Amino acid sequence: MNNLVNLRVAEICKLLTPAELKSQFPLPEESYANITLWRKEISNILHKKDKRFLAIVGPCSVHDGRSALDYAYRLSELRKKVEDKIYLVMRVYFEKPRTTIGWKGLINDPFMDGSNDIEAGLEIGRSLLLKVVEMGLPVATEFLDPIIPQYIDDLVCWSAIGARTSESQTHRELASGLSMPVGLKNGTDGRLQTAIDAMMACNASHSFVGIDEYGVTSVIRTTGNPDVHVVLRGGRDHPNYDRDSIRDSIALLEKAAMTTSLVIDCSHANSCKRFERQVNVWNDIIDQRLEGNEDIVGAMVESNINEGSQPLPVEKDGKDIKSQLKYGVSITDACLGWDDTEKMILSTYQKF
């Protein structure tokens, strides 16, 4: 009678609840007030009530807390210099979607060794987010697993639903209940309709199965998210940040009676997966903005302390994985280096 379920499950481990994690790593009152303000400011930018340019900048994925905090300090200092014209938000991405297999991110595998100590990943991730927020930086992330937001969503000011998951009913329902603005990426094939359909779904109320803060399986009923918007990231064989593509995207959004506010992803297919081309994409969309296209409200840039990327090493000769890694270099998508990132943003500040 017991051989009908879990036939391919090796182990089930009890996980701490969201309430327990938040109790271990509580949100200070000052940070609570800041996050409330930052979410409102980002919402105002998306609804064109605030004319500042939204810039979501940071590593493709975080794998090392020390370099992430180093980057956060640099970005927080830059934010102070440009905040009257450019609204900087730091990418702090813990979950990485995979086309096939590979490292799934800091929460899933914090030690990068296949041990998949998810509880440690949640503790490391929440602790890191608290430190970034305390530096005065709003945080952006991508939500992939529908349970993870319960553990960290109080610290996030902007979130993304990725190109692989914008078509997923589960993620559309999730986004409809998230407490912050959510960017919905067009599909990996470049089709905008995927994101438009997602916007319609996310605007609506839903009922679905999830967990509450105590880890109890519950029916979650949402009211819909009025702050969802499109993120253009290009398609498999073409970018979509050029003037014609943006004009066509705005027309499709208007036809669907959706907000025409656009955030442009300077990486991925828009840069043809060449990290240095992000500067070209950024400059092009800034030119369009300066020409009067106020529907371009923001951009995303994959940036790290040092440029490029590095493969994830394996343990050898008694050396663990982390000791073999170059400092501040991505282990997922290649990133723009800090010096070029700072130069690009300061140059744009002068243009604005």
What per-residue confidence (pLDDT) applies to 317?
Answer: 59
How confident is the model over 150-203, as pLDDT tens digits?
Answer: 999 999 999 999 999 999 999 999 999 999 999 999 999 999 999 999 999 999
Structure tokens at 333: 């998508």
What per-residue confidence (pLDDT) applies to 97?
Answer: 82
Q: Rounded distance, CA 170 to CA 162, Å?
A: 13
Q: Could you tell me which residues come within 8 angstroms of residue 123 by beta carbon, excluding any fewer than 6 positions away? A: 21, 24, 25
- Yes or no: say if 121 and 109 are a contact pair by the CB < 8 Å rule: yes
What per-residue confidence (pLDDT) applies to 245?
Answer: 96
Structure tokens at 350: 């002068």
Structure tokens at 132: 């970034």
| Superfamily of structural domain 18-351 | Aldolase class I (3.20.20.70)
Low-confidence ranges of the chain (pLDDT < 70): 1-2, 316-318
Task: State whether residue 122 is helix, strand or coil.
Answer: helix
Tokens 């060449």 appear where? Answer: 274
Question: Residue type at 151?
Answer: Y
How confident is the model over 49-68, as pLDDT tens digits?
Answer: 999 999 999 999 999 999 99
Question: Residue type at 37?
Answer: L
Degrees to nearest 5, angle at CA 98 with 226 and 326: 105
Nearest to 346 by CA among 59, 82, 11: 82
Q: Sign (positive/negative) of CA torsion 67, 96, 223, 265?
A: positive
- Yes or no: say if 61 and 162 are a contact pair by the CB < 8 Å rule: no
Which helix (H) or strand (E) element contains residue 232?
Answer: strand 228-232
What per-residue confidence (pLDDT) applies to 236?
Answer: 84
Domain spans of the chain, in order of start = 18-351
